[in-house]
Structure 1
Amino acid sequence: MRPPIASLVVLLLVVAALTMIGLDGIHAAGVPQAVADGEQQIAADTALSMRTTIDAEASTVRRTAKAYPATSTSTPATTLKALTSARKGILGSALLDPKTGKLLAAGGKTVQLAGVDVARTASGHGAIPPRLVTSDGTRQLLYFAKVTLPAQQEDANQDQNQVTSGTERQWLLVVSEALPAPTAYGDGRTAEVLDASGTALATASHGTASPAAADSGLPSSATRAAKGTGRDTDASGSLLGAATGNRRTVAGWAQVASTTGPGDTDGLGLVVLTFRAVPTTATAVDYSGFALQAAGALVVLALLLGLALHFFLQRPLLWLYLSAGRLARGATEDGPTAWEELSRPVPVNGFGELARIGRALESLRRQLLGESGPQEFPVRRGPGYRALAAVGVLVLVCWAAPMIFVLNRANTATAVPASVLAVQQTRTEIASNRVRQSLDQLYTDLSDAAASLPGSNRAAQTKVLRRTLADHKQYRSLYLLDSSGGITLRVGGSPLRTIVHVPAGGGITTVNTSGRIPAIAAYTQVRTVKGKTPAAGVVLFGEIDVKALNSILSRPKLGSVWVTDSHDRVLAANVGYRAFQSLPDSGLSRLARATQGAPGTAGTATSRVLRTSSGPSVDGAAPLAQSGPTARLGWHVVTAEPAAALQIPAVQAEQRTMLAGILGLTLGAACLGWLHVLVVRPLRSVAVLVERLAGGDRRTVLHPVNHDEIGSVTRSLELMRQALAERDRAARSGQAAGPSPSLRQTTLQR
């Protein structure tokens, strides 16, 4: 009996303390923490885009060098021209002897190789990472690749036709390209690429920057913070810059390095810095007064419930326990001791079941003394202790319900600052751009593969497709279609579904409109070259694995991300979904449609705060592309992040208030339910049994269920039942009616 009551009081006091601590700890700074965290993630997203661009370019250079059909008669000049003539972004190129570093051929601007140990660079067996060099006062990236030439054959013994193969030759291809410029998203934001010394190598701005954003100390602070992260290659953070009037600069930084171990960008030491001036919050937010009131009310309720249960249940039950034990001793003993135990009336304390048990015990006491016979008790009874437990739960509901449903409710229109909405919109645009870049790159690589198909036999074409499939894990299948739509050549898995009518041109398309998996494919025409063997089909299709799209959507603190088609049906997502299902909320569908511009335009990104069943949600939507192979699709990227995860004071107060109410109600109801199971329900059973015993039932054996106060009362009742049954048997045998001969004699003497 004591543990449930003590636990109820203690746990409610703990909830009161947590309510006080949780709500009193919410403070609104001049710049919301959600804005600083969002700027950090924008810098990390921008760094990821730059890392992806550099990695893709390095892979392209290596793949081009590996696929070059060199022969033993190839010259450095022709090889260099074949490897670089189709590349528009190349500033300069060179072909070197990897052993001596001798320049074999050069093209374009002079490649700055000062400080590059060619022999040591080419000595490794793995991929050679890019290098950052200075040429003509500008910073450039050098990409490296090994060109392997077949071994030259030497006829060592013409008489015996013995041929000894020579060793393979290798050349080192070096390509110089400009450092990729960062992309600045969001009005008034500036993005910079910094080297290890904090010097800005490339800068991009969007819109008009505020004077508050001009903070010369941010680059050096960002590089120092990046160096302080040690071996963490995926480090990022946020900084607060200068303030001008009611605006302050918020900056984010992130390292341009691989997230999964050694990569092409690890040794470059590049850091992306983004910053933007945002309005500061002048209104102070203080929930300490509310926290004190809510916690104080719960403390009062806890003490009142504890006192009520102590005086109305615990003390009466203890008195009843003592009275039952006294009567059991009087029923089993003889002489003056028995008379003394049975002579005192049983006090009737409490109400409900305890009062019923007390009255029945008094009747049993008189029966043991022989003063009365069995007594019937009325069937109609008043409220019992179950009603007391229900009243306790109701009292807790009166405190918890307003906490859960009414108090500190965040206003959807004003709870989320406009700067937080702008961050979500910006990150949605970056996610959309990342998807577009991935699809555009897949289309470009597919076009390169299609360009190498004419003029080759079927075996060579199959080899090209297999090499393309091996180099691009995003494809699950590559196949050629003829003019009738039939597959003439395929590598990889079976297509989910092939297109019926062969399309013209090239781009990205969805092959199906229903089913379990969206069939998204890149396609391009296979051109016929005069005088060369035509390809096995007229259109090359590359079916894209939807898992590859899903994997690039997940970003920290961006929430749920969906890629939808022009009818707002889901094609890819970073959360569980069914293909071609609608967005989970109608508000998200309206938000996606709001990005659509006038006919013939790509539309613009937008963001909004929506109220969902779990609270406010900060949502954004952006069209997938404004140009390129995906521009005609009408696809969108939609994001939804619960406002509770963004550390917004109003939303934090709502969530913590609701949590306090749920905890208080749950723990209080659990303790009262525990009390009902251990005390109230057994009391109801004992009340029924003791009334039957007092009414003359001597056959029902009373078995104690628990080893507690109620179990002791049950054992005492069983002893009294045995004594009354023995007396009834003695009476039927002709002996005197009474508790026992000695007790009757003691009574007469007195």
Structure 2
Amino acid sequence: MRPPIASLVVLLLVVAALTVIGLDGVHAEQVPQAVLNGEQQIAADTALSIRTTIDLEASTVRRTAGAYPATSTSTPATALKALTWAKKGVLGSALLDPHTGKLLAAGGKPAPLAGVNVARTASGHGAIQPRLVMSGGTPQLLYFAKVTLPTQQEEANQVPSRTERQWLLVVSEALPALTAFGDGRTAEVLDARGEVLATTAHGTASRAAADSGLPAAAARAANGSGRDTDASGSLLGTTAGSRRTVAGWSQVASATGPGDTDDLGLVVLTSRAVPTTTTAADYSRFALEAAGALAGVALLLGLALHFLVQRPLLRLYLSAGRLARGATEDAPTAQAELYRPVPVHGFGEPARIGRALESLRRQLLGRSGPQEFPARRGPGYRALAVAGVLAVACWAAPMIFLLNRADTATAVPAPVLADQQARTEIAAMRIRQSLDQSYTDLSDAAASLPGRSRAAQSEVLQHVLDDHTRYRSLYLLNRSGGITLRVGDTPLRTLLHVPGGGGITTVNTSGRIPAIAAYAQVRAVKNKASAAGVVLFGEIDVKALNSILPRPKLGSVWVTDRGNKVLAASVGYRAFQSLPDSGLARLARSTRGAPGTAGTATSAVLRTSSGLSVDAAAPLAQSGPTARLGWHVVTAEPAAALQIPAVQAEQRTMLAGILGLTVGAACLGWLHVVVIRPLRAVAVLVERLAGADRRTVLHPVNHDEVGSVTRSLELLRQALAERDRAARDGHAAGPSRFLRENTLQR
């Protein structure tokens, strides 16, 4: 019985110490760590958008060059025009001889090729990564691709030459458009030296008010972290009055090995001025008071169990052993033990066993006969264990449910809530860009179909499907809704009525998988049977959308339709299910603006069954092919995952309460299993023995105090059985003699 009691006291004191350590470590800083982490993640999200745009543009240039139907008679001028006519963002372009660097053709503004070793650039195998160059003080990106021409043949014998002709395509474009989200935020693109290449501001932010030392500090931090990872971090700037500049930086580099942006050395820097915290949050006093209360409960429980359980049970153990010796030994000192009354100590089971032992003593001396004990009994040790658990629960329940509860309105700093909204808008932008690109690629494919044969159309669609893994299938629908040509998987569902124009649409409203498709009209060609298919559909794999949504410290992300039904998510979901919380649905509905408008983003702090949650919602698009969908992006980040002092205090207070209640219940449950429950069984057996039940053998189960009492009671049962047998046979012998003879015979 000692280990459970000692463990209860020691572990409760350990929980008290952990309460002091945990809550004493919660302090409110001038700028909460959650604000710094949020700015870091916003910079990382912005860098991801720029990296995705550059990677996409580089792959588009290479894909266009690889798909160009060059012939041996193609001229550089016609080839350059065909390769760049559909690209709107091209500042300049050129075709070069990859061996000599000679300019073969040029278009637009002259491409800034100074400092570019053309021969060395084109000599490597595989894709050529973009270059960052300066032209007239303006940064530009150069994209490269090799244009392979058919092998020239000798006119005389038509034997193929071993010399392969190639041109090097160079396309110069401006840096991707930089967008700042969140009122008062400035976003900048830096080079490896910390020079500002591009900047933009949102709302009341201005570049002049930004901290001039932050770009250099961000560049140094990025250079120190390596250039082949998407490293990011946060910085603190200068203080102006009651506000301080908070900045986040992130490299524009691939996170999964070599990529098109690794050698550019670009760094994204975002910054904004946030109000500093003036009120200090100190939980030391509360921690000491809570720990002192738990220590008091632990000591009181230890004393109560010592005096009410341990000491009575030890005395019972001594009394049972004394009676067993008196009943089984012939020594005069042992026989004298039978004449000493059995003291009754405590209450409950020890008291019941003590009274039964006194009855057995009197029966051994022949002073009384069997005694019946009442069936109804008072509270026992089980009630004591329950009272102990309730005593610990009286301390733990307020810790879990009442004390240090974070206020929904004030616990989460306003900058943290604004950061969640800004990151939700960035997530909506990524989804929108992906869908817009799907529509653009499909429109380009549809523009190349008219006038081609069915086999040629199938070949074009197969190339598009191979180059763009976001599509599940590509198919042509005629005016009656029938599929006339298909490549890829079987469509999940098709539209019965062919829509006009082009855009993004949902094909189904129920089922296991949402069917989302981009569609574009195929221009009809007169007197051509190949014009039977009038609309080209590209069914978008919902897994491609799901893969865009997860971001560190953004929480759960859902894409919902106009009716707030889930179409895609960063977590497990069922297609077309409702949002997991009604508060999220209300938040999504609140983003809708006046009729005819796309609405605005919004955010709120909600209390759910699992605690506070920082949530935000943003409309998917205000223009473009996705504007008519009415979709939303909804995010929910548990406040417990953010380093907010009020939330940390609530979380650690609840944890202390849970630990205390668990320790109390576990140790008292242990005491119940090893002591109380066996003792209750012994009490029932000894009362039966005192009531003339001599046949039930008492088997000791454990080698502890209760087991020793059980062994002593078994000796008493055998002595009483011999006494009763002697009385029936008419023998006048003491119980010890018959017990000894019986033992010798065995």
Query: Which range moved further: 325-334 or 142-151?
Result: 325-334
SS at match of 1:740: helix
Give the alignment's TM-score, normalised by structure 2.
0.96
- CA displacement at 1:173 relative to structure 2: 0.9
SS at match of 2:536: strand
> 2:563 maps to which residue?
567
Q: Distance in 1 between matches of 2:411 and 2:199?
A: 34
Q: Distance in 1 between matches of 2:7 and 2:638?
A: 35
> 1:689 maps to which residue?
685
SS at match of 1:266: coil
Q: Distance in 2 between matches of 1:62 and 1:425?
A: 36
For residues 76-106 of structure 1, the C-alpha deviation after alignment (integer angstroms, 9 at most, x for no partner) is: 1211111012212111111122223222222
> 1:18 maps to which residue?
18
The yes-or-no answer on 1:405 pairing with 2:401 is yes
SS at match of 1:153: coil
- CA displacement at 1:165 relative to structure 2: 5.8
Query: Which range moved further: 432-441 or 28-37?
Result: 28-37
> 2:166 maps to which residue?
170
> 2:743 maps to which residue?
none
Q: Distance in 2 between matches of 1:464 and 1:507?
A: 20
Q: Distance in 2 between matches of 1:220 and 1:327?
A: 90
SS at match of 1:720: helix
The yes-or-no answer on 1:734 pairing with 2:726 is no
- CA displacement at 1:357 relative to structure 2: 0.6
Percent identity of equivalent pairs: 83
For residues 357-386 of structure 1, the C-alpha deviation after alignment (integer angstroms, 9 at most, x for no partner) is: 111112222323333332222222111001
Given candidates 295, 319, 322, the residue that maps to 2:318 is 322
> 1:129 maps to which residue?
129
Q: Distance in 1 between matches of 2:590 and 2:269?
A: 31
Q: Distance in 1 between matches of 2:532 and 2:381?
A: 87
Aligned CA RMSD, in angstroms, stands at: 1.8
The yes-or-no answer on 1:609 pairing with 2:605 is yes
> 1:249 maps to which residue?
245
Q: Distance in 1 between matches of 2:380 and 2:227?
A: 68
> 1:582 maps to which residue?
578
Q: Matched residue pairs, number?
A: 740
> 1:747 maps to which residue?
none
Question: Would you say the 8 A contact 1:504–1:525 is kept in 2?
Answer: yes
For residues 625-651 of structure 1, the C-alpha deviation after alignment (integer angstroms, 9 at most, x for no partner) is: 011000111111111111111111112
Give the alignment's TM-score, normalised by structure 1.
0.96
The yes-or-no answer on 1:392 pairing with 2:398 is no
Q: 1:550 to 1:742 in 2, by over 3 A?
A: closer
Q: Distance in 2 between matches of 1:743 and 1:132?
A: 105
Question: Would you say the 8 A contact 2:718–2:739 is kept in 1?
Answer: no
Q: Distance in 2 between matches of 1:239 and 1:201?
A: 20
Query: Which range moved further: 337-346 or 271-280?
Result: 337-346
- CA displacement at 1:208 relative to structure 2: 1.6
Query: Which range moved further: 316-325 or 620-629?
Result: 316-325
Question: Would you say the 8 A contact 1:318–1:709 is kept in 2?
Answer: yes
> 2:95 maps to which residue?
95
> 2:744 maps to which residue?
none
Q: Distance in 1 between matches of 2:736 and 2:468?
A: 100
> 1:140 maps to which residue?
140
Query: Which range moved further: 438-447 or 329-338?
Result: 329-338
The yes-or-no answer on 1:544 pairing with 2:540 is yes
- CA displacement at 1:529 relative to structure 2: 4.6
Question: Would you say the 8 A contact 1:432–1:622 is kept in 2?
Answer: yes
The yes-or-no answer on 1:651 pairing with 2:647 is yes
The one-letter code sitting in structure 2 at the alignment partner of 1:248 is R
SS at match of 1:321: helix
1:160-559 matched pairs, under 5 angstroms: 163-164=159-160, 166-209=162-205, 213-230=209-226, 233-529=229-525, 534-559=530-555
Question: Would you say the 8 A contact 1:194–1:273 is kept in 2?
Answer: yes
Query: Which range moved further: 195-204 or 169-178?
Result: 169-178
> 2:50 maps to which residue?
50
> 1:34 maps to which residue?
34
Q: Distance in 1 between matches of 2:702 and 2:115?
A: 86
Could you tell me which runs of 5 or more consecutive residues in structure 1 were left unpaired when the two chains were aligned. Answer: 745-750
Could you tell me which runs of 5 or more consecutive residues in structure 2 were left unpaired when the two chains were aligned. Answer: 741-746
SS at match of 1:589: helix
- CA displacement at 1:231 relative to structure 2: 5.8
Q: 1:741 to 1:202 in 2, by over 3 A?
A: closer
Q: Distance in 2 between matches of 1:737 and 1:384?
A: 39
Query: Which range moved further: 63-72 or 328-337?
Result: 328-337
- CA displacement at 1:733 relative to structure 2: 2.0
Q: Distance in 2 between matches of 1:559 and 1:402?
A: 29
- CA displacement at 1:307 relative to structure 2: 0.9
- CA displacement at 1:169 relative to structure 2: 2.2
The one-letter code sitting in structure 2 at the alignment partner of 1:5 is I
- CA displacement at 1:599 relative to structure 2: 1.3
1:700-711 matched pairs, under 5 angstroms: 700-711=696-707
> 1:748 maps to which residue?
none
Question: Would you say the 8 A contact 1:456–1:533 is kept in 2?
Answer: no
Q: 1:143 to 1:211 in 2, by over 3 A?
A: closer
Question: Would you say the 8 A contact 1:454–1:533 is kept in 2?
Answer: no
- CA displacement at 1:742 relative to structure 2: 9.9
For residues 408-438 of structure 1, the C-alpha deviation after alignment (integer angstroms, 9 at most, x for no partner) is: 1111112112111111111111111111011
Question: Would you say the 8 A contact 1:436–1:624 is kept in 2?
Answer: yes
- CA displacement at 1:340 relative to structure 2: 3.7
Q: 1:188 to 1:358 in 2, by over 3 A?
A: same
Q: Distance in 1 between matches of 2:688 and 2:39?
A: 76
Question: Would you say the 8 A contact 2:228–2:253 is kept in 1?
Answer: no
Q: Distance in 1 between matches of 2:258 and 2:367?
A: 97
Q: 1:574 to 1:607 in 2, by over 3 A?
A: same
Q: Distance in 1 between matches of 2:673 and 2:604?
A: 49
For residues 307-327 of structure 1, the C-alpha deviation after alignment (integer angstroms, 9 at most, x for no partner) is: 111110011111111222222
The one-letter code sitting in structure 2 at the alignment partner of 1:624 is L
SS at match of 1:268: coil
The one-letter code sitting in structure 1 at the alignment partner of 2:718 is Q
SS at match of 1:23: helix
Q: Distance in 2 between matches of 1:723 and 1:13?
A: 48
Question: Would you say the 8 A contact 1:181–1:203 is kept in 2?
Answer: no
SS at match of 1:221: helix
- CA displacement at 1:211 relative to structure 2: 8.9
Q: 1:741 to 1:236 in 2, by over 3 A?
A: closer
For residues 182-235 of structure 1, the C-alpha deviation after alignment (integer angstroms, 9 at most, x for no partner) is: 211111110000000000000011112269942111011111111221366111
Question: Would you say the 8 A contact 2:439–2:518 is kept in 1?
Answer: yes
Q: Distance in 2 between matches of 1:452 and 1:9?
A: 81
For residues 471-527 of structure 1, the C-alpha deviation after alignment (integer angstroms, 9 at most, x for no partner) is: 111111110111111001111111000011000000000001111111100000011
> 2:629 maps to which residue?
633
